[in-house]
Structure 1
Amino acid sequence: MKGLTELLKGVLEGIVLERISQGETYGYEITNYLVDLGFEDIVEGTVYTVLLRLEKKGLLDVEKRKSELGPPRKFYRLNDSGKEYLAVFWEKWGFIEERLRQLKGDK
């Protein structure tokens, strides 16, 4: 769905962490995954900005490896801090989702 950029800003870290929790990956692969999910507005630059922020927060283990198709790639894995952060993200998301359902009148 298009036009989600502003709404996604607050949750993109959690979405990216969830993808990384499913297995080691790199930025371009994450971008393609998100586009395949329907997040058409997501561009590589946005994903790399999020990855850098998550890396600076100490939530990821990062390994640079040679690539046969160009410059070295950074591969990302969730570390223990990242797993804890992701668990808290889903708790917060559950709270928001529940309140939105109440607001909308869904049971």
Structure 2
Amino acid sequence: MDIQLKKGFLEYCVLAALKKKDSYGYQIVKDVSNCIDISESTLYPILKRLETDKQVSTYSVEHNGRLRKYYHIETKGIDQIKKFLEDWEQIQKIYQYIEEEMKDDKE
């Protein structure tokens, strides 16, 4: 997948993963990797941006004697997912247009 296109979807995938349950970095990578490749080095700047924008909040929990940082989706993050889903119809139209224009090349 094109890197720019992928970047556009990553934030929504991270937010969707957090919608199900609060989570920490490594687990988010595992969850999101089911649909799109992501590394921890890509994830953390996304999480920082989402936190700065108040779409997610953080808290720490002790795990095996160490503090683990958990991320929690906020109302603003849920609203972003809803907006993305509302925009999906337009994204599908763009896809269909491109697909239609490419039909001549498939034959």
Pairwise CA RMSD: 1.9
Match 1:85 to one of 71, 80, 88: 80
Gaps of 5+ in 1: none
Q: 1:89 to 1:38 in 2, by over 3 A?
A: closer
Which of 31, 34, 58 does residue 33 from structure 1 map onto? 31
Q: What is the number of equivalent residue pairs in this alignment?
A: 100
Equivalent in 45, 50, 58 of residue 49 of structure 1: 45
Q: TM-score normalised to the size of structure 2?
A: 0.80
Per the TM alignment, residue 92 of structure 1 is displaced from its structure 2 partner at its CA by 2.2
**2:97 maps to which residue?**
102
Alpha-carbon deviation of 1:61?
Answer: 2.4
Structure whose CA Rg is larger: 2
Counterpart among 59, 63, 69 of residue 59 in structure 2: 63
Identity of aligned residues (%): 28
Deviation track 1:31-55 (CA, whole Å, cap 9, x = no partner) reads: 01122x1534x21111111111100
What per-residue deviation string (whole Å, max 9, x for no partner) do you get for residues 26-80 of structure 1? 1110101122x1534x211111111111000001121111121x63111112111
TM-score (ref. length: structure 1): 0.80
Q: Which residue of 2 aligns with 1:22?
A: 20
Distance 1:22 1:71, change over 3 A: same
Letter in 2 for 1:50: I
More helix by share: 2
- TM superposition outliers: structure 1 runs of 4+ over 6 Å: none
